[in-house]
Structure 1
Amino acid sequence: MEDLSFIPELLSGPLDVYRNTASFDWKRLKLSIEGDIELLKLKYKIWRTLERDPLFAHNQVTPSVEEQKRLTQLQLKKINEYKFVTKEIFKSSYSKRTRAIMTINEAVQSLNPSVSVKMAIGIYLFSNALLSLGTERHHKFYEATIVNREILASFALTEIAHGSDARLMRTTATYDPKRFEFVVHTPDFEAAKCWVGNLGRTCTHTLLFAQLITPDGTNHGLHGFVVPIRDPDTLETYPGLVVGDMGEKIGVNGIDNGFIMFNHYRIPRENLLNRTADVTEDGQYVSSFSEPSRILGAALENLSAGRIGIMQESCHSIASAVSIAVRYAATRTQFGERDNEIPLLEYDLHQWRLFGYVAAAVVFRIYIENFANVYLNIVEKSNMGLKVDNLSEAVSEIHAMVSCSKPLLTWTVLQAAQQCREACGGHGFLKCANLGDIRNNHEPTVTYEGDNNVLSQQAGNWLLRQYEAALSGNNVDSPLLTVTFLKEHKSIAKLTFQCKNTTQLKTTQFILSTYKWLLCWLLKQTYEKYESYLAKGLTKFQAKAKSQVYRWKNLTKAYAEYLAIIFSLESIEKKEKELQPVLFKLFTLYSLWSLDRHLVELYQGGYCSGDDPARLLREAIMELCGELKSEVVSVVDALAPTDFVLNSVLGKSDGRLYQNLQKALVSHPGTFERATWWREVVPSAKL
C-alpha cells in the first residue's frame, strides 16, 4: 500500500456525519482516480508551494482587467522560476515528460485558469509544434522556450472573418528568393489574426499559419511559421506589425488575447516549419505530401494534445464545482419538521440534480487518464521511429475520439457549473463561492482549439466512413477497437429492451449493449438521411449541412459517451477491490443518467416500447442516487483540490458553512463603511 501521508488530512467538522458512513478510504480513491502517485505528489507540491507565495494570494475583489493580465504574467514568471519541470523530467521519455507537464498545467489551472492557458499556449503548445512540425533548424526556438524561458509564444490561426474553416484563411507568406525571406502580409482587417492568446501584451513570438505562396504565384495552402513579434528585452512591437488587445472578456481576463496585421513583414526562410514541406533557396516547393489538405491536416493534428489538455483541465473544473455544491448540500439544512431541518443532500431532487455530475466527474477523469496514456504511447513510438501498426488509421480514430470527447466534456462541465451554482441558491451567486468564476473561466473551452459543433462534425465524418465500410462488408478501420462492433450491426439492430427490474439495468452488459444499439441506429439514420439528400442532387456539403441537427450531433454525443464508458470501465475493472463497489456505482449512474437523455431515440428506433423502459431506467437512476448518498461526500473529498485551491467559502473541507460565510462577509473590504459616493445621492436639502 502506497504512503499517502503527503495528502493533507481533512479537518473534522459537520461533514463527518456523512464521511463516517463511507465504505472506502477517500485518499485511496483520490489516488485511484488520479492514476499516478508521483504525479499526484507533484500536484500537491505545486499547491503547497504556491499557497505559501503571497503573489498567489486570492483577491477578495476582482482586479481590473489590466491588473489581471499583469498578475497572470507575474505568476507565470514565478512558476517558471520554481522549475517544477525539473531536468530529470526533461530527460525522461516523451510520454512521462508530457504527463508531468500536463499535471503541472492541471495544478495551476485549478488555481488560476489564465496562468495555465498562458503557459499551455505560450510554452507547451508552441514547443510541441516545433517538435512535431519543425526540424533541427528550429531547435534554437525550442531551447529558448522550454529550457531558457526566453520566448513566450502564441498561436495565430483564427482570422476576423474565418475561424473554423482554416482553408480560407487569407494571411499570406510569399517567398522572396532574392533575399531568402518570406513576406507576410494581411490584405485587410477581415484577414487579421485574432483571439491569439498572449499576443495582446506579452508574447515575443507567434506560431503563424498563413497561405504559403511561391515565386511562381502558386498557393500551397496553410503552413506554419515562427514569427518574431516583440523585442524580448523591451516588449516593443517590431516595425511592420499592428498588434492590439481584444479587450475585456467574460472570463479568463488574465489572458491577453490579441489581434495582429502584417504589413509586408519579412521573416527568414528558415522560420518555415518544414517537417511536412519546405521551400528551397531558389523558391522551389518540396513536400512529402501531394495534397495541400493533407499538409494542413498534419499541421493541425498537433492540436490533439492541446485538446486532451483541455479535457484534463475540464475534469478539474467539474471536480471543483461538484465538491462545492455537495459539501454545501451536506451542511445546508432546509424545511423538514419543526426544529428538525433536513440537509439538502437528503432530498431526492437535490441528489438527482447533482449526483449525475459527480459521477461524470469521476468517469471523465478515469477515461481521460486511460485515453491520454494510449495517445501518448502511440505518439512516443512514432517519434522514436518505432513501428506502430495501422498508424494512419489510429491517428484518424484518435482525431475522431478527441473531436467528439472535447465537446462532450466541455459542454457537460459548463452545465455542471451552472447546476452547482443554482444548487447553492443565492449564496452560490457570491464571488467568494467561486462557482461563477469556475463557470465563466471554463466557458471559452467550448470554442477555442476547435468549436465544439465543428469538431463534432469531424468525428461524425469518421464514424460514417466506418459504418459505410461495415455495410459493404469491408474491414472497419478501428485500431483502438472503439467501433469494431459495427461488424455485427445487423444482429445489434435486432436488440430490444428486455429488462424486468432495475437490477438488470444496473449491469455493464445492459449498458454496453444498449449503447451499441443506439450507435448503430443513429449511424443508420444519419447515413440514410445524408444519402437521401445526395439522391436529390444536393452536393456533399449541402447534404451534410442538412443532416447535422438530430443526426450528426446526436450521433457524436452518443459516441463520446460510449468512449467514456468503455475506457473508464476498462480502468475500473483493474482498480483495487475495496474501491470497485463505489466506482461501479458511479460508473453505472453516469451510464444510465446519459442514456436517460437518449430516450427519444431509444423509443423512436424501436429498442424501447411501452411504459417499462422509461420507468425502470429512471427508477434505477434514483436508486443509485440513494445508494450513493452515504458515499458522495467522501467521493468529492477524493475529487477536490485543497481548500486554498478550491477557494470557496461554501466548499471548505471543514464543513463549517456559516462560520466561514460570516468570516468572508465581515472581512470583505468596505462591508461596514458608508458609500464614498453618498453625497451624490442624498437630496441637497438634507446636506
Structure 2
Amino acid sequence: METSSTSFIEDLPKGPLDTYRTRSKLNWKKLKLVFEDEEQLKTKIKLWKTLEQNPIFHDSGRELNSDEMKRLAAVRLHQFRKLDFLPKSAVNKGNHKQRMRHLMTVNEAMNICFPDVSVKQAIGMLLLATALEKLGTDRHQFVINGIWNRQILGSVSLTEVAHGSNTKDMKTTATYDRTTQEFVINTPDFQAAKCWGGNLGKTATWTLLFAQLIIDEQPYGLHLFIVPIRDPKTLLSYPGIVVGDMGEKIGLNGIDNGFIIFKDYRIPREYLLNRAADVTPEGNYESSLADPAKILGAVLETLSTARVGIMQECSNMLVSGVTIAVRYGAVRRQFKPSDGSKQEELPLIEYPLHQWRLFPYMATAAVFRIFVTEFAEDYTSSVEKSASETHLGNLNDLVAEIHATVAAMKPLISWTCRDGIQECREACGGYGFLKSARLGDLKSTNDPCVTYEGDNNVLIQQTSNWLIRQWNSLLEEGKVNSPLGTCAFLKNYRRTLSKKFTPRVPGDVVDKKFVWECYEWLITYLVKVTDEKQKQLVDSGLCKFNARNNTQVYRAAILSKVYGEFTALNYYWNRIQRADQDLVLTLNKLGLLYGLWSLDKHLIYFYEGSFATDNGLIVTVKQEILKLCSSLKDDAVTIIDALAPPDFILNSVLGSSDGKVYERLESMFYRNPGALSRPSWWHEILPDSPINDTKLVSKL
C-alpha cells in the first residue's frame, strides 16, 4: 500500500463541477499518484509553473502563419534550453537510466502544452544524444557535449523522397576515400533526397544521417553518420549541401521539416558511428556483428526512443481530449424527463449514450497513462544495458521484446488517440469545433503520429513477426524467449486453446480473470492460425515475403493489436496492485472497461475459433460495458481530475477545472479580435458597390 504525500498537489477551484466531485468518495490526489510517478509529477509541476511565468509561453491570441509558428517554436525552445530542466550535468555519464528518465519526463511535460517545441527538442537533443550514446564511442562525445551545452541542435535524415519504411534500399551513399580518410556523401538523384527531418528545414546544425556505406565499390549496407550541415554562427548551409524547408503542413507547423541533398560532401572518417561497425584508416571494414541484418537492426533500433516519446505524446493528448469532453459533459445540460416533475435539464454525462461514447476512452486514457509510465522503466533499463556494453552483440531477447512491444504500442496508442479525440470533439457539439476548445489542435497534432517514426500499418508487422518467431520456437524447441513475460502464456497453448466460453450465471461477476483468459485465448488462436496460413502459402509456392503480405488482413495485423491491448492491460493491472485499497475498486473498473471495450471489437474471432458458439459472449461483453459505464458516472469527474494537467497547460475554454464553461465562453466571445467591429472590407459588399474583379483577384 502506498503512503506518498499529496501536499505538493494544489487544490482545485470551486465551481459547477463540485456537484459531481461531492458525489465521489475517491481522493483525486491519491489517485493522481497512481497515474503519475511522484518524482516525475513534481518535475512536471515545476516545469509548468516556470513556463506559466514566462510571457513567451503564453498564447498571443492571434492566428499565426507558418513562418511565425516556426519562429515561435524555435524561440521557445531556445528559451527553454536556458532553464535548469536540461542541466549541463547531463553530459556526465553517471546514472544513464536516471538521466534518460529525467529527460523523457521533461520532454513529456513540454509536449502536453507545446508539442512543436517538444518534438524539436526530442529530435534535436534526446534522440540525437541517445543514438550517439548507443551506437557511438568516445570520439563522438564532443557532439553530445555540444547538445547539452546548447551549441548543437540536431535532426535525423532517414526517410528519402522515394523510400520510407524500406530502409534497406535507400540510395544516399557514403563512400570511403582512404587517401583523405573521409567519407564522401552523395545524393544520386532527387528521389534519394532525405526529407521530413524535423529541425532540418531551418534550424538544425547537425544531422544523424542514414546512408549506404561503400568501400572500394562494395556496399556494406545502411550505417549511421553524424554530419555537420550548417554554420552554427550564421545558420547558413555548408558548401556541397542543398537544404531547405518542405513547406506548410496540415498541422505542427512550428516544426521545420526539411529536405537535404548532398553533392560530394566530405566528412571525417571519425563521424561514422562505430560501435557496431567501423572503417579503419586503411579502409578495412570491421564489425562486432557477423550478420549485416543485425547491423541494420541495431541502427534502426535507435528510433525506439522517438516511438516511446510518441506513445507518451499520444496518451497525454488523449487525456487532454477526454478531460475537456467529460468536464464539459458534466456542466452542459440538455433535456429533462417528461414525467411532469420539476427536475432540471440533465447534464450530458447522465445519459447512457454519452457515457458509452466517452467513458471507454477515459478508461483507455488511464490504462495508457500507466502503461507508458511503467513501460518507460523497462525501456530505459534496456537502453542503459545496451549503452554500457563495450560491443553490440546480437540483439538479445530483451531488446527484441522491447522492440516488438514498441512496434505494437505506438500504432495502438496513436490510432486510439486519433479516434478518441474525434469522439470527444463530437461529444462537445458545436463548441468542440471552436479553436479555443483546443480539440482541433489536439487532432492535428496527433495526426502525424500515425505516420512518422514508422507508419503504423508497417510497424505492427514487426510485432506479429516476433510473435510468430516465439510461436515457432515454442513448437520446435519448447521455449518462448520473452524476458518481460508479455507472451509467456503461449507455453500453455494446448490448455488455452481447449477452453470454451461458459455462459454466465446471473449474479456472476465479470472480473479480471475473465478478460485475461479471453485475451490469452485470442492471442494464442491468432498466432496459431496466422502461422498456419503463412506456412500453407509457402507450401503452395509463395515466397515468405508474399506469404506474410497475404496474411496481414484479418490475421497478423489483428494479432499485433490484441497483443498490444493485452500488454497495456498487464502493465496496468500490475501497477494498481500497489495502490491504496480505497482506490482499487475504481481502478479495477477502469481496467475492466478498457479490456471489455477492446474485446468487443474482436468478438468475431471467438466464434471463428469456436471459443463461443451462441450469443452468450456477445451479450455478456456488451451488458458489462454498459454496467461499468453507469457505475463510473459519479466518479468520472474525479477520475478526470486525477488524470488532467493544470488549466494553463490544458488551455481549453471548455475544460477548465472550475467548470465555468459559460463564463469563459462569454469572455472569449468578447475578447475575440475584431468580434465587435465591422470588417475592413465592409464597403465591398454594400448593395450599390461595384464589383471590381481585378482588385478582388489581386487580394486573393
TM-score by length of structure 2 reads: 0.95
Amino acid at match of 2:28: W
- Cα distance in 2 between the residues matched to 1:6 and 1:573: 24
Mapped pair 1:162 → 2:163: yes
Once the two structures are superposed, residues 274-300 of structure 1 have per-residue CA deviations (whole angstroms, 9 ceiling, x without a partner) of 111111112111111122211110111
Match of 1:406 in 2: 410
Moved more, 494-503 or 555-564: 494-503
- Cα distance in 2 between the residues matched to 1:283 and 1:444: 41
Gap change, CA 1:459 and 1:137, over 3 Å in 2: same
Amino acid at match of 2:421: A
Amino acid at match of 2:174: A
- Cα distance in 2 between the residues matched to 1:503 and 1:116: 49
Match of 2:697 in 1: none
Gap change, CA 1:502 and 1:70, over 3 Å in 2: farther
- Cα distance in 2 between the residues matched to 1:566 and 1:424: 32
- Cα distance in 1 between the residues matched to 2:603 and 2:479: 31
Once the two structures are superposed, residues 206-255 of structure 1 have per-residue CA deviations (whole angstroms, 9 ceiling, x without a partner) of 000000001x2110011111111110001011111111211111111100
Match of 1:209 in 2: 210
Match of 2:399 in 1: 395
Find the residue that maps to 2:346 and give its secondary structure.
strand
Moved more, 405-414 or 384-393: 384-393
Match of 1:631 in 2: 635
RMSD, aligned α-carbons: 1.8
- Cα distance in 2 between the residues matched to 1:437 and 1:355: 22
Gap change, CA 1:234 and 1:266, over 3 Å in 2: same
Amino acid at match of 1:325: A
Match of 1:48 in 2: 49
- Cα distance in 1 between the residues matched to 2:394 and 2:155: 33
Once the two structures are superposed, residues 645-675 of structure 1 have per-residue CA deviations (whole angstroms, 9 ceiling, x without a partner) of 1010000110011111111111010101111
Superposed counterparts of 1:440-459, under 5 Å: 440-459=444-463
Amino acid at match of 1:591: G
Superposed counterparts of 1:44-193, under 5 Å: 44-86=45-87, 93-146=95-148, 148-193=149-194
- Cα distance in 2 between the residues matched to 1:446 and 1:333: 35
CA-CA distance at 1:103 after TM superposition:
1.0
- Cα distance in 1 between the residues matched to 2:327 and 2:76: 30
Amino acid at match of 1:343: P
Mapped pair 1:356 → 2:357: no
CA-CA distance at 1:385 after TM superposition:
4.5
**Which of 13, 16, 19 does residue 14 from structure 1 map onto?**
16
Gap change, CA 1:362 and 1:89, over 3 Å in 2: farther
Find the residue that maps to 2:631 and give its secondary structure.
helix
Find the residue that maps to 1:405 and give its secondary structure.
helix
Find the residue that maps to 1:582 and give its secondary structure.
helix
Moved over 6 A (4+): 386-391
Moved more, 71-80 or 278-287: 278-287
Maintained 8 Å contact 1:60/1:432: no
CA-CA distance at 1:88 after TM superposition:
6.1
Once the two structures are superposed, residues 410-447 of structure 1 have per-residue CA deviations (whole angstroms, 9 ceiling, x without a partner) of 11011111110010011000000000001110111111
Amino acid at match of 2:43: L
- Cα distance in 2 between the residues matched to 1:203 and 1:150: 11
- Cα distance in 2 between the residues matched to 1:285 and 1:259: 30
Mapped pair 1:336 → 2:316: no
Match of 1:232 in 2: 232
Match of 2:425 in 1: 421
Superposed counterparts of 1:310-325, under 5 Å: 310-325=310-325
CA-CA distance at 1:59 after TM superposition:
3.2
- Cα distance in 2 between the residues matched to 1:246 and 1:499: 58
Match of 1:496 in 2: 500
Mapped pair 1:484 → 2:488: yes
Find the residue that maps to 2:296 and give its secondary structure.
helix
Find the residue that maps to 2:634 and give its secondary structure.
coil
- Cα distance in 2 between the residues matched to 1:59 and 1:107: 21
TM-score by length of structure 1 reads: 0.97
- Cα distance in 2 between the residues matched to 1:81 and 1:567: 36
CA-CA distance at 1:341 after TM superposition:
0.8
- Cα distance in 2 between the residues matched to 1:400 and 1:502: 40
- Cα distance in 2 between the residues matched to 1:676 and 1:365: 48
Superposed counterparts of 1:169-318, under 5 Å: 169-214=170-215, 216-318=216-318
- Cα distance in 1 between the residues matched to 2:362 and 2:43: 25
Superposed counterparts of 1:592-631, under 5 Å: 592-631=596-635
Moved more, 676-685 or 603-612: 676-685
CA-CA distance at 1:14 after TM superposition:
0.6
Amino acid at match of 2:419: Q
Amino acid at match of 2:609: G
Match of 2:696 in 1: none
Match of 2:510 in 1: 506
- Cα distance in 2 between the residues matched to 1:469 and 1:174: 40
Maintained 8 Å contact 1:505/1:511: no
Maintained 8 Å contact 1:381/1:387: no
Mapped pair 1:383 → 2:384: no
CA-CA distance at 1:467 after TM superposition:
1.2
Once the two structures are superposed, residues 312-342 of structure 1 have per-residue CA deviations (whole angstroms, 9 ceiling, x without a partner) of 1212111100000000000000011476211
- Cα distance in 2 between the residues matched to 1:594 and 1:389: 38
**Which of 644, 668, 675 does residue 671 from structure 1 map onto?**
675
The size of the alignment, in residue pairs, is: 684
Gap change, CA 1:485 and 1:3, over 3 Å in 2: closer
- Cα distance in 1 between the residues matched to 2:529 and 2:651: 47
Mapped pair 1:572 → 2:573: no
Moved more, 130-139 or 386-395: 386-395
Amino acid at match of 2:288: S
- Cα distance in 1 between the residues matched to 2:4 and 2:488: 38
Gap change, CA 1:389 and 1:367, over 3 Å in 2: farther
Match of 2:326 in 1: 326
Gap change, CA 1:192 and 1:659, over 3 Å in 2: same
Amino acid at match of 2:205: T
Moved more, 397-406 or 501-510: 501-510
Once the two structures are superposed, residues 74-119 of structure 1 have per-residue CA deviations (whole angstroms, 9 ceiling, x without a partner) of 0001111112123566655222111111111111111110000000
Match of 1:538 in 2: 542
Maintained 8 Å contact 2:589/2:628: yes
Find the residue that maps to 1:242 and give its secondary structure.
strand
Find the residue that maps to 1:335 and give its secondary structure.
coil
- Cα distance in 2 between the residues matched to 1:351 and 1:236: 55
Match of 2:564 in 1: 560
CA-CA distance at 1:183 after TM superposition:
0.5
CA-CA distance at 1:537 after TM superposition:
0.3
Amino acid at match of 1:39: Q
Amino acid at match of 2:286: V
Amino acid at match of 1:655: G
- Cα distance in 1 between the residues matched to 2:314 and 2:63: 23
- Cα distance in 1 between the residues matched to 2:114 and 2:211: 32
- Cα distance in 2 between the residues matched to 1:531 and 1:224: 36
Amino acid at match of 1:42: T
CA-CA distance at 1:304 after TM superposition:
1.6
CA-CA distance at 1:515 after TM superposition:
0.4
- Cα distance in 2 between the residues matched to 1:501 and 1:122: 58
Match of 2:586 in 1: 582
Once the two structures are superposed, residues 20-44 of structure 1 have per-residue CA deviations (whole angstroms, 9 ceiling, x without a partner) of 1112111111111112x22111100
- Cα distance in 2 between the residues matched to 1:547 and 1:135: 42
Gap change, CA 1:516 and 1:388, over 3 Å in 2: farther
- Cα distance in 1 between the residues matched to 2:686 and 2:99: 63
CA-CA distance at 1:270 after TM superposition:
0.8
CA-CA distance at 1:355 after TM superposition:
0.5
> Please, which runs of 5 or more residues in structure 2 have no aligned partner?
692-700
CA-CA distance at 1:378 after TM superposition:
3.2
Once the two structures are superposed, residues 504-533 of structure 1 have per-residue CA deviations (whole angstroms, 9 ceiling, x without a partner) of 453111111110100111112211211121
> Please, which runs of 5 or more residues in structure 1 have no aligned partner?
none
Find the residue that maps to 1:226 and give its secondary structure.
strand
